[in-house]
Structure 1
Amino acid sequence: MPYNRSSVEQQNFTNNADNRKRIVQLVAVEGTQPCEEDAPNVVELIKVHEERKELVKLMLDIVPMKTTAKKRRLSDGLDEFVDIVVPDYTDDEFLQHFRIKRKQFHNLVALFEESETYRMLREDKRMSAAKHLLMFLWFAGNASCDFRDLSQRFKASISSVSRAIKRVTYFLADLSEFVIKWHTKEEMTRAADYFQSMNGFPSVIGAVAAIHIPVEVTKQDKVTYSNGNGQTSIILQAICNERRKFVDISVGSPGPTHKSRVFTESEIYAKLPELCQNFILLADAAYPLGNNVLTPYRHNGYLTPAQILYNRKLNECRTFIDYALTTLKQRFRQLDHVKLRGLEKVSQFVRACCVLNNLCKEDDFSINLLDSSEVTSGETVDQQSCEDAVPDSSTGSIFRERMCDYIYTT
């Protein structure tokens, strides 16, 4: 049955510019092509097309509702994950998804809110500090996550995601000078006592090791950063203490660089006599032997019982650095292959992950030590570049002999 309006309704309907324009468009779609100046006569057009009036009324009622519903869904989506889903997570679920405890997360949010990086953003445009951190942690904790995944989950544009990840990356990397610090005198004494009581190896305050971090590089840099295992990578070198916390890191050397070369070219190497004093670090056989760095004897088939015992005790102490690096890569799975562009940004991202790892307690996160793919130790990763290795020092060899005799006779 045709829809009949009163004269007042008809006049109000005709005077409504938005409705007139919408009807002109609808009628045009149906096959009639009225021009703009015909708009005031749209009522006459409807009378001519009686069979279309119900369609016009229906569309006028529904279209605005659809638009409103779409906007409402998008608005709800912005808050749904961050404000509804995440708060419902238990503490264990939060740790599983975001790799740090909820209390640590809130502390970081408070720090980020006070940072210059966040405060310089426009208040009416910026996303919340919590959303920044959640986005970064989700990205860092998932190996397969990329910016498109983050865009869909957090309902933000890919460009906004990229900027948020960069802000948090540099914010956390800047905390490294406060979080990744060398031992104090008391801490060195405590570490030496711990290792001595563990297996009798004296004066040890930590261990040094390095791992490959696979990265994306340009075609021009592919040869420079190809590590010989079919990957392009940068090297993370780390020194850890008895609590498996990093006390120094060096990030960014090209993948083919021998670990001994990375070590001797790092900022920490020249400072070791001053920093270590009478204490020592342990390393694998790929590192150069020195007065402050002890390495195992190479297995040449002619090791003495004293040398075998020395190697065994050294390797027992060295498990701490392997455990620390394994925890790092299992906690932040993005380090399996970082999906960021730009080597400087990638290096800062790795540093940021090391900062987060230090902020977490060692028992926060259980790892699978049987997963040997996480950390490649010994000479295996550097086999392709042994000619680049730094030779042992003669004084280091003498010091190792004395240490070997001391361990065997005590």
Structure 2
Amino acid sequence: MSHGGAVWLAVHEHLHRSAGPAHHRPSSVASSCSPHGRGVEPRRRLDALDDNFVAQCFHCTRRCLSFLTDYVTARMMKDVFGPSNDAASVEAMILATLCFYAQGFLPRKITDMLELDQTAANYAVNVISKVLADMVPDFITFPGGYNDRMGVAHGFKNISGIPNVVGLLGCLHVRVSPPAAEERRFLNTLGYHSVMVQLISDVDGNILSVEQCCPGATMEQSVWKSSNIYLEFSRLQHGQTWVVGNSGLSKSRYVLTPVDCTQMKNSAARRFNAAHSQILNSTQHVFGCLKTRFRCLHNLGSVQAHDLEPVARIITACCVLHNICKKFSVPLPGELVLEPVHPVPEAGERGAGKNPLYYMEETREDMIEMCFGNAGVQDGQGEKERHKHNGVHK
């Protein structure tokens, strides 16, 4: 994750500063700490759960779950404009929400254990999802400085030979039930109704950017061109770098796509396409990890075409939690199931005619010849062998 050390130090400092000593907490918390209202620390619900239950119910480790409950509680208790909550009720809301994300529904035994009725549980998921989605700047960061960009690019170069790549671009599809009048807008290329969210990830599977929740039939090129991260690239905020994307984005600026088979001129282009495919397939791994850990992403139920914010918050919250789980080395709850690849629309559907970004095609061709021509391949193979020998190349 970009800026990992600095971000996490800042997060922990913010957590401790926000929580403060017990005697500085709101009176509502102190009164809930003991039946006599004498400010004795309450026993957290999490403390009463054994490790196996925590892993099975929340798909998390105790250490990670403790961090999450402390951090989210500190943020909510600090929000003087938010609803009045004590620490015990906030913890119950957090645990209910995390259980919903992990299981895809809220079991009755969990809501009973947390002393929440169905209305309170639904409210908890809405509120905590918003809090977690608002934590994006703390836990999902695109490499901003030169050294950070080159650090990410070095990882991609090591495994593929492609230089100056700072992210893998893809759209995660989550099944939904749209209004009958809007079904066509949500029907994706795999034949089911979905919303799609644009993600960019690094070579290690950390999410670097999440935005643009749209109906599943939306063209990926349109999603990219209307995104904030595209605007940053167009302002040259990320230097002379690329993100890797599929052939459906072939007319998109700053996206490195494979060479079309009709334009294949030499073996260098074939080698480039093989390397491109190798790293692009990593997006399916990231999507698979998300849906394996957070079963709610298999189906988010009914949506309204004019208001995708509720589902967007849940998906974004899961992306935040994905990065946190990776930071705490939380294992997946089961065998990883890769997300199926969505077919790319035919060239005619993407728009016929000469690519208006022909100058970028020339830049790509120069890079391919330099890195995947005979001399480039020999240099690249030597570098990969060195990294393999050092235990870096996977």
Q: Does 1:252 align with 2:218?
A: no
User: 3-state SS of the aligned residue for 1:165?
Assistant: helix
Q: Tell me what 1:334 maps to.
A: 296
**What is the TM-score normalised by the length of structure 2?**
0.72
Rounded to whole Å, the distance in 1 between the matches of 2:47 and 2:302 is 25
Select which of 55, 68, 76 maps to 1:95.
Answer: 55
CA contact (8 A) 1:139 1:150 kept: no
What letter is aligned with 1:111? Answer: Y
Residues 229/146 of structure 1: CA separation in 2 closer, same or farther (3 Å cut): farther
Residues 203/369 of structure 1: CA separation in 2 closer, same or farther (3 Å cut): farther
Give 1:366-377 correspondences, 5 Å limit. 366=332, 371-372=337-338, 374-377=339-342
User: 3-state SS of the aligned residue for 2:228?
Assistant: coil
Structure 2: give runs of 5+ residues left out of the alignment: 1-42, 377-394
Residues 89/352 of structure 1: CA separation in 2 closer, same or farther (3 Å cut): same
Q: Name the structure where helix makes up a greater proportion of residues.
A: 1
Q: Tell me what 1:55 maps to.
A: none
Residues 377/392 of structure 1: CA separation in 2 closer, same or farther (3 Å cut): farther
User: 3-state SS of the aligned residue for 1:231?
Assistant: coil
Rounded to whole Å, the distance in 1 between the matches of 2:154 and 2:256 is 18
Select which of 346, 349, 373 maps to 1:386.
Answer: 349
Deviation at 1:352, TM superposition (A): 0.6
> CA offsets per residue over residues 297-343 of structure 1, 9 Å max, x none?
23349663111101011122223332222211111111010136552
Q: Does 1:324 align with 2:286?
A: yes
What letter is aligned with 2:372? Answer: Y
Rounded to whole Å, the distance in 2 between the matches of 1:257 and 1:334 is 22
Deviation at 1:368, TM superposition (A): 7.3
Q: Does 1:187 align with 2:151?
A: no
Q: Tell me what 1:406 maps to.
A: 370
Rounded to whole Å, the distance in 2 between the matches of 1:230 and 1:294 is 27
Rounded to whole Å, the distance in 1 between the matches of 2:209 and 2:352 is 21
Deviation at 1:165, TM superposition (A): 0.7
What letter is aligned with 1:162? Answer: N
CA contact (8 A) 2:178 2:302 kept: no
Rounded to whole Å, the distance in 1 between the matches of 2:200 and 2:175 is 20
Structure 1: give runs of 5+ residues left out of the alignment: 1-81
**What is the TM-score normalised by the length of structure 1?**
0.69
Deviation at 1:263, TM superposition (A): 1.1
CA contact (8 A) 1:192 1:204 kept: yes
Give RMSD over aligned pairs.
3.2
What letter is aligned with 1:365? Answer: P
Q: Tell me what 1:395 maps to.
A: 359
Q: Tell me what 2:242 maps to.
A: 280
State the identity %: 20
What letter is aligned with 2:362? Answer: I
Deviation at 1:187, TM superposition (A): 1.8
Give 1:153-164 correspondences, 5 Å limit. 154-164=114-124
Q: Does 1:361 align with 2:326?
A: yes
Rounded to whole Å, the distance in 2 between the matches of 1:88 and 1:399 is 57
CA contact (8 A) 2:139 2:320 kept: yes
> CA offsets per residue over residues 174-203 of structure 1, 9 Å max, x none?
001221111032221112222222232212
Give 1:194-343 correspondences, 5 Å limit. 194-227=155-188, 229-273=190-234, 274-289=236-251, 292-300=254-262, 304-339=266-301, 343=308
Q: Tell me what 2:35 maps to.
A: none
User: 3-state SS of the aligned residue for 1:237?
Assistant: strand
CA contact (8 A) 1:259 1:286 kept: yes
What letter is aligned with 1:172? Answer: L
Deviation at 1:95, TM superposition (A): 3.1
Rounded to whole Å, the distance in 2 between the matches of 1:164 and 1:367 is 24
Bigger Rg, which one: 1
Deviation at 1:394, TM superposition (A): 1.0
Residues 285/387 of structure 1: CA separation in 2 closer, same or farther (3 Å cut): closer
